[in-house]
Structure 1
Amino acid sequence: MNQFQPLVFSGVQPTGNLHLGNYLGAIRKFVALQATNDCIYCVVDMHALTAQLVHEDLKEQTRSIAAAFIASGIDPTKHIVFNQSAVSGHAELAWIFNCVARIGWMNRMTQFKDKAGKDAEKASLGLYAYPSLMAADILLYRATHVPVGDDQKQHLELTRDIAQKFNLDFAAKIRAIGKGIDIKVGDEPVHAYFPMVEPLIDGPAPRVMSLRDGTKKMSKSDASDLSRINLMDDAETIAKKVRKAKTDADGLPSETAGLAGRPEADNLVGIYAALSDKSKADVLADFGGQQFSAFKPALADLAVEVLSPITGEMRRLMDDTAHIDAILKDGGERANARAEVTMKEVRDIVGFL
């Protein structure tokens, strides 16, 4: 059987300051993937409206994400870096997918329930339907692989459901225009226009937790700035936040089993391991038996060593907004060229004149 052309797609929402969890869990992985894949990396500024409609600094936040991509090592000349709203195909395909997706599927999306909370009736339709837009983001480029964290796996499953229903519902038309590829879904052969996208969840993508509560994920929305290390923090601020990070009274264990039931200790050891490209066992082999008063300065020094070059380059890029805008414009034009190929064929498949 033929294969879809391998393509990696992912996006980051421009809301709040990027932090260490974003870098270790996503952006660093984006950088690694570009060495062996065709990649499209998107600043999903349309998604930002689902969290908050009115932004005073959305343009600046969008530039900041792009700057973080580039400062971390993503090459916008070999790959595509752009902002979502620059390509109208995202919104157009999302509407078609709104008509493909079933209400029952959307009702199962747990992240909507988490974000809407008790005021679900007051949440925007955009927040409810944004997994459909996420599916459009991915499938607009017929991407085959998406690096995701645990919190987005359910949305990727929905993307597969939408792709499968579209492929089955329009199977005859897809075959008629000669644009599909024969694939297997389970044991069944399907003539598909959209690929059954696969998650990329292996590799260095740790779940970084709050510095103030090891049971909660590090978040841009946490009220306490001490809960996270922002990519734009200077060395003194990083050291302060690590020093104030919550721990327990016991010292570091010599083996990983000793981290069980100690979320804050486990988190700090995990951060050190990720920053140093070591395993937790390796870290404990070096620091086991020591107190956090000795470990925290070493962690702070390591975080500064890794993040300072990125922070410096981000600041330089953010001081030259014309350069960032030019990169996004070029990326948007190249993304739009690919997207319009898909949309022309989708319009034909659906039956639009």
Structure 2
Amino acid sequence: MKKILTGIQSTGTPHLGNILSVIIPSLDLSNKYFSFIFIADLHSMTKIKNMEIIRHNTYQVAAAWLAFGLNTENSLFYRQSDVTEVTELAWYLSCFYPHKRLKLSHSFKENINHVKEKISVGLFTYPILMAADILLYNAEVIPVGKDQLQHIEITRDIAKRLNKKIGKKVFILPKAFIQKETESIPGIDGKKMSKSKKNWINIFSTDEILKKQIMRIHTDSKSLNDKKNPDNDGIITLYKLIAPINQVEVMKSKYLKGGYGYLDAKKTLYDCIIDKFSDERKKFFSLIKKKSLLDHILFLGAKKARKIAFERLNYIRKNLSFNTLLR
């Protein structure tokens, strides 16, 4: 059975973009593949230095996955920092990869011009840790967004280099899985939805806050009676990812006819989100109050993951001519 691996950083509550592009597709794939699903709290340290905030965010991410029906019986669900083998492997990988290649990484280039004095070594080597996440389990299929595609290529490059150095196929070359419909979910400003850009829609917020977020979706200046272009509109772009196709067609026809304002469309989108994710929101609000239960679930997942990681790391150590570890 092929293995998939995916993770979400604990930089805040998963937003609608995370849900549509990562959580739901990964859960669909888990019916076909054995799944490794982790909360990337180590990656989060490149952005957040307060560990209490990361811990709080970790619960938010865990509750979101579980609220959407993650089955921990047929998936390994764990906190990244609980499987320390990943950091040892990251060191080995970093010693076989040229630093000049990392300078081309999007995660580095996007920040270097804005906060150059705050760039950490961790942010620079972010793709190496991501490669370790994947190669530690020899995961074959990696559900990612378009912006993460380069990191999968870096992982494949590292795996090829190590295989050549060792002289045999120690690492499987992973393949990215991109769902075209959800590869780039627009935020309220029309750009890719992101917590760091504060253009997100949080379905796990209160009804009032959620409505305010949706009402802030950017539109053009056309009036209520004007005809509108449904092919270039952030409201419909989000709506068609959530609503039944017949309801999407109804909204499109109203746009083309005129007499239908953006405020009406936003209210329809809000009602759709409330209706579609009603059960998930209830489960989330219930789970987030049960921190000890979330800790227990993550502990059990990490225990299973570490067993696999320990054996896999020993195999890698042996092929690198290190002594194998004892327990």
* Same structural fold, with TM-score higher than 0.5 when normalized by the shorter chain: yes
Q: Among 54, 58, 71, which residue is 1:58 paired with?
A: 54
Change over 3 Å in CA distance of 1:229–1:27 after alignment to 2: same
Aligned partner of 1:350: which letter? L
Q: Which runs of 5+ in 1 are unaligned?
A: 175-191, 260-264
After superposition, where does 1:107-146 map in structure 2 within 5 Å?
Answer: 107-146=103-142
Alignment of 1:202-213 (within 5 A): 202=179, 204-211=181-188, 213=189
Q: 2:195 aligns with which of 193, 204, 220?
A: 220
Residue 22 (structure 1) aligned to one of 7, 18, 26: 18
Contact 1:29–1:205 (8 Å) recurs in 2: no
Deviation at 1:122, TM superposition (A): 3.5
Stretch moving more, 334-343 or 55-64: 55-64
Kept after mapping to 2: 8 A contact 1:113/1:120: no
- The answer as to 2:173 corresponding to 1:196 is yes
Query: 1-side partners of 2:164 and 2:110: how far apart?
Result: 32
Deviations 1:136-160 (A, max 9, x none): 0011000001011111111110000
For 1:131 and 1:144, the matched residues in 2 are separated by 17
Quote the Cα distance in structure 2 between the aligned partners of 1:53 and 1:239: 31
Give the alignment partner of residue 296 of structure 1, picking from 248, 255, 266: 266
Q: Deviations over 1:210-263 (max 9, x none)?
A: 21x21x22211235xxx322132122322232223221123564763xx2xxxx
Q: CA deviation at 1:170?
A: 0.5
Question: Structure 1 counterpart of 2:69, which letter?
Answer: G
Name the counterpart of 1:338.
Answer: 308
Change (3 A) 1:280 1:205: farther
Structure 1 contact 94–135 (Cα < 8 Å) conserved: yes
Q: CA deviation at 1:277?
A: 5.4
Instruction: Give how far 1:67 is off.
Output: 0.9
* CA deviation after TM superposition for structure 1 residue 203, in Å: 5.1
Matched to 2:192, the amino acid is K
Q: Is the 8 A contact 2:203 2:210 kept in 1?
A: no
CA distance in 1, matches of 2:263, 2:43: 41
User: Aligned partners of 2:102, 2:281: CA distance in 1, in Å?
Assistant: 38
| Counterpart contact for 1:252–1:284, Cα < 8 Å | no
User: Aligned to 1:152, what secondary structure does the other structure show?
Assistant: helix
Q: Distance in 2 between matches of 1:305 and 1:280?
A: 14
User: Aligned runs of 1:1-353 on 2, under 5 Å?
Assistant: 5-171=1-167, 174=168, 192-202=169-179, 204-211=181-188, 213-214=189-190, 216-223=191-198, 227-250=199-222, 253=228, 256=231, 259=232, 265=233, 267-276=234-243, 278=245, 282=249, 285-289=252-256, 290-353=260-323
Structure 2 Cα separation of the partners of residues 329 and 107 of structure 1:
36
Partner of 1:189: none
- Residue type of the alignment partner of 1:195: I
CA RMSD in angstroms, aligned pairs only: 2.0
Q: Pick closer, same or farther for the CA change 1:108–1:283 going to 2, 3 Å.
A: farther
Following the alignment from structure 1 to structure 2, what is the Cα–Cα distance between the partners of residues 37 and 204? 21
Shift in Å, 1:206: 4.3
Going from structure 1 to structure 2, the CA distance change for 1:33 and 1:137 (only over 3 Å counts) comes to same
Amino acid at match of 1:200: F
